[in-house]
Amino acid sequence: MSDSLNPCMTCGACCAHFRVSFYWAEADDAGGLVPVELTEPLSLLMRNMRGTNVREPRCVALQGEIGGCVSCGIYQHRPSPCREFEMSGEHGVLNEACDRARARYGLPALFHPSLPEMTERCPNPGASLPAEHVQSPG
Ligand code: SF4
Ligand code: SF4
């Protein structure tokens, strides 16, 4: 295992850029994992993480300082969009959404397809959202 620090652990930008929404039954009051008190209703069938459906989002579960040392306070119980979102460069695939979130906080893009493939896996202390779940607030 590499000693190098995973970029997500000093980022967290995606947890403070997108609306994190998911099917309501992912909340623990419906048999899912996500603590319902950290969520709020979004529509009849959807909920979102509290703090993410505003113009300047920041997930209520995010701990630490963006661009510093960050972690997800509900990592084992985070919703599906957070599990599925991959940092740019994971498996050699560009994730423009990761780049966009990082750029908001002045953080450089992690990857360009012309560079050698990144091999570090992202444990994603703050991860998030696949494109189909990503909606910018406001
Ligand atoms: S997935 Fe990208 S934006 Fe999200 S924490 Fe990791 S590096 Fe930052
Ligand atoms: S990974 Fe954790 S802190 Fe980040 S958006 Fe998901 S629940 Fe929130």
pLDDT score for 136 = 38
CB-based contact 21:133 (threshold 8 Å): yes
- d(C-alpha 110, C-alpha 112), whole Å: 7
pLDDT score for 79 = 98
Instruction: Tell whether 26 is covered by a domain.
Output: yes
With a 6 Å cutoff on the Cβ, whether 11 touches ligand 1 is: yes
With a 6 Å cutoff on the Cβ, whether 11 touches ligand 2 is: no
pLDDT score for 116 = 59
Instruction: Tell whether 1 is covered by a domain.
Output: no
User: In this predicted model, what pLDDT tens digit does every residue of 122-137 receive, in sequence order?
Assistant: 444 444 443 333 443 3
- Closest residue by CA, ligand 2 atom 7: 78
CA of 95 to the centre of ligand 1 (A): 10
User: In this predicted model, what pLDDT tens digit does every residue of 64-121 receive, in sequence order?
Assistant: 999 999 999 999 999 999 999 999 999 999 999 999 999 999 999 998 877 655 544 4
Tell me the backbone φ, ψ of residue 128, rounded to 5 degrees. -170, -140
User: In this predicted model, what pLDDT tens digit does every residue of 7-51 receive, in sequence order?
Assistant: 999 999 999 999 999 999 999 999 999 999 999 999 999 999 999
Instruction: Tell whether 88 is covered by a domain.
Output: yes
Instruction: Tell whether 86 is covered by a domain.
Output: yes
How many domains are contained in the chain?
Answer: 1
The one-character DSSP state at 136 is -
- d(C-alpha 7, C-alpha 4), whole Å: 9
With a 6 Å cutoff on the Cβ, whether 74 touches ligand 2 is: yes
Instruction: Give the closest residue to 57 by CA, choosing from 9, 101, 8, 11.
Output: 101
- Closest residue by CA, ligand 1 atom 7: 8
Quote the domain boundaries for residue 67.
Answer: 7-135
Q: Which of 9, 62, 63, 105 to mutate to test the pocket of ligand 2 (most atoms within 8 A of CB)?
A: 62
Instruction: Tell whether 2 is covered by a domain.
Output: no
Instruction: Tell whether 63 is covered by a domain.
Output: yes
| Atom number, ligand 2, closest to the C-alpha of residue 75 | 2
